[in-house]
Amino acid sequence: MWNAFVPPITIRIVTAAEAFADGELSDADLARVHSTARAVCQEARTESTDTSGYLTHIELAAANVTSKFVTVAGYARQAAVNAAADLPASGPEPGDEQLPEYVDELAAQADLVRDVFGNPFRSLEIQLEWLTETVLSLARGIYTDRAFDRMPILADAPRTPGATTKTF
């Protein structure tokens, strides 16, 4: 759920990036969205004297998530870290990397990456008993509706006892 301070254009940009990730948006469409996102980000930077402001970070993150380049993950992470440490969108000054809120946010971003992509140094093991029709249906509904408040229901969903595991 977006708060009332996020401009509608930013919401459309992030929604388009999500659609691309879900395979619902073409490369050409994403390129157009990225062009718009960069313009919005530049406008936010030039209109505001407060480059550490919430909206500046949101606009920068929106521009970053619509890029197809691998380095965008680093930029998105940096935007989140700068926002959490209340630093300018342009980045930290020398010594800012030692700020507790900066270090804490870097750790939180690393945890998030591991949550989404797993640990690249370990095999992923899935308990097939977790993949019941109920679990899959709940998970799809939560994702589609963006109703993440229903995740505790998913955690309590019934599993099939005695199923095997599969290692990836």
Return the number of other C-beta atoms located less than 10 Å from residue 51's C-beta: 16
Confidence grade of residue 70 (pLDDT, cut at 50, 70, 90): very low
Q: Which of 51-60, 74-83, 100-109 has the lowest mean pLDDT?
A: 51-60
Any idea what DSSP says for residue 167? E
| Predicted local confidence at residue 60, as pLDDT | 67
Query: What average pLDDT does the segment 27-35 reach?
Result: 82
Residues 6+ apart with CB under 8 A from 105: 80, 81, 84, 85
Query: What average pLDDT does the segment 15-34 reach?
Result: 82
Q: Given a cut of 70, is residue 162 above it in pLDDT?
A: no
Question: What b/e readout covers 148-162, taking b as 16+ CB neighbours within 10 angstroms?
Answer: eeeeeebeeeeeeee
Residue type, 71: T
Q: Which residue has the higher pLDDT, 86 or 55?
A: 86
Q: Which residue has the higher pLDDT, 120 or 135?
A: 135
| Predicted local confidence at residue 21, as pLDDT | 77
Percent of the chain with pLDDT over 90: 7
Is the pTM higher than 0.75? The answer reads no
d(CA 73, CA 112): 12
| Predicted local confidence at residue 142, as pLDDT | 93
